[in-house]
Amino acid sequence: MKRLAGIDLGGTNIRVALATSETTHTAPVHRSTPAADGPDAVMQSIADCVREASGGAPLDGAAIGIPGPLDPMTGVVHAAPQLHGWHELPAASMLGTLLGCPVAIRNDASLAGFAEWKAGAGGGSRHFLFVTASTGIGGALVVDGRLYDGGTGSGGEVGHAPMGLDGPACAQGHPGCLEGFASGTGIAHQAHRAVAAGESTSLASLPPDRIDAKAVQDAARAGDQVATRIYAGAGRALGRALGGLINLLSPEVIAVGGGLIHAGDLLFDPLRAGVAEMAFEYPASQCRVVPAALGTDAGLVGAIAWAVESFEQPSS
């Protein structure tokens, strides 16, 4: 097998490992992301991690998951909101120069979804949809056994499906986005609005900076009706969006990952009810909607799998 590296780049941490098979890797090397210091500092930190992981030996290729819209064909990152100065950045060529090998880039959610399809909840399917519900909402789509990214490299952005003309805006400022309803940020925003409106909720006893999705989850578990209503609304909105995607795409499996899945039935009960509201009966009966399986390792496993996909030649 060729010497290939997988790189999971986030706004907080960098994780790098070498491939030991299509979906397994060596023990990861970790480093904090110098996000505020600009692209050159981040690229150098990545290169240092790769050299540590490889023991300084040359590589045959590397793949990296990057948060934000990008073009996997040209290797250019159009924007990375969590990383200062990443605007129309030729990330693949920059990193390739530092590492001395070809580099493939993909959106981080796309690679997490690719990992779930290869080695997680979507294993064995031909048509698969991955949704990550956390601070924001992202996703990935596998169609007929191929990772789909559309004509511009940005396919799979399920978090920006329209949900209603008057709904809260997403992080990009689009009103009525699914992300505004059902992301961790959206849940926290609704909780702040409920407190500001004087609704009777235990959340009102918390300092404003501690009212986040986890606080809403904890309050709902303790029986707080406002918190329960907020979580139910988020789950229903996400389920209705997935129901529409079942009608459009007819996937065999939908896996939901990200931090919000730790809410368990608080999220999944209204989510499954929302799916039933929107999806046609037959395609819904043929589609499993399940929690993602790989947890926080999905991004790195996806980068490993994409490095193998991109640079490992099939044996003759």
Percent of the chain residues past pLDDT 70, beyond the cut? 98
Residue 244: what pLDDT? 95
Chain segment 193-207, per-residue pLDDT in tens: 999 999 999 999 999
Domains belonging to the chain, first-starting first, are 4-112+297-311 (3.30.420.40), 124-293 (3.30.420.40)
156 has a pLDDT exceeding 50: yes
Which residue is listed with tokens 């999705």? 213
Q: Is the pLDDT of residue 155 over 90?
A: no
Tokens representing residue 169 in the block: 């805006």
| pLDDT reading at 316 higher than 70 | no
pLDDT category, 163, cuts 50, 70, 90? confident
pTM equals 0.92
Type of residue numbered 243: G
Which of 188, 286, 287, 269 has its CA nearest to residue 232?
269
pLDDT at position 315: 46
Note the pLDDT tens digit of each residue in 207-219: 999 999 999 999 9
66-77, pLDDT tens digit by residue?
Answer: 998 999 999 999
Q: Is 159 within 8 Å of 136 (Cβ atoms)? A: yes
Asked if residue 51 has pLDDT above 80, the reply is yes
> What average pLDDT score do residues 88-108 get?
97
What's the confidence (pLDDT) of residue 133?
93
- SS3 track for 275-286: HHHHCCHHHHHC
Q: Name residues whose C-beta falls within 8 Å of residue 264's C-beta, 6 or more positions apart in sequence.
A: none
pLDDT at 95 > cutoff 80: yes
pLDDT for residue 298 is more than 50: yes
| Local structure of 126: helix, strand or coil | coil
Q: pLDDT averaged over the chain?
A: 94
